């Protein structure tokens, strides 16, 4: 895929060539394990948009699906905008699956929460049923979709 960067000049030409490369079979056999957490579902939507693929599993490797360093840079920018966390580009190389990346993002979010915020959140969740927690997560996903973070 290196020829794309060295021979094409416009963003439209580069995107078209990347789409063609991705669709031409550069992807390995996907695992098709569905994302199970809200973070994984958000990442799935981001990956589908960047990689121009419909079917992506939570354990599929970003680079085996046709991802490359430019796409990884775009991924990092979208993660920053949606989750409000700063993760380095090498995270994508070290944690190239949705599942691994979701854990890293959640760890980063927890690391930036202070003790008082965590205690308040835990107290709030302790008083809720599983159905109420599921409804809150669904509402959060809906708000992210409305904000353009999800499809």
Is 74 a member of any domain?
yes
20 domain-assigned? no
The pTM of the full predicted model, rounded to 2 decimals, is 0.59
State the total domains in the chain. Answer: 1
User: What domain range includes position 86?
Assistant: 29-112
Q: What is the CATH number of the domain that holds 103?
A: 1.10.1200.10
Residue 147 pLDDT greater than 90, yes or no: no
In a domain, 133, yes or no: no
Residue 65 domain-assigned (yes or no): yes
Q: What percentage of the chain reaches a pLDDT higher than 70?
A: 70
Residue 5 domain flag: no
Residues in Cβ contact with 57 at an 8 Å cutoff, skipping those fewer than 6 apart = 30, 31, 32, 33, 34, 98
Q: What is the pLDDT of residues 34-88, one digit of tens each?
A: 888 999 999 999 999 999 999 999 999 999 999 999 999 999 999 999 988 888 9
For residue 145, tell me if it sits in a domain.
no
């Amino acid at each position: 895929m290196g020829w794309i960067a060295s021979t094409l000049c416009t963003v439209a030409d580069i995107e078209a060539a990347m789409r063609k490369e991705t669709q031409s079979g550069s992807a390995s056999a996907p695992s098709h394990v569905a994302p199970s957490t809200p973070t994984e579902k958000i990442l799935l939507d981001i990956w589908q948009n960047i990689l121009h693929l419909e079917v992506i599993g939570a354990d599929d490797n970003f680079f085996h699906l046709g991802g490359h360093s430019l796409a990884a840079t775009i991924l990092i920018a979208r993660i920053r905008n949606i989750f409000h966390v700063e993760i380095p580009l090498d995270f994508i190389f070290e944690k190239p699956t949705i599942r691994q990346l979701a854990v890293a993002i959640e760890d980063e979010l927890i690391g930036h929460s202070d003790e008082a915020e965590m205690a308040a959140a835990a107290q709030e969740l302790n008083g809720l049923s599983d159905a109420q927690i599921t409804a809150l997560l669904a509402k959060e996903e809906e708000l992210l979709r409305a904000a353009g973070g999800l499809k």
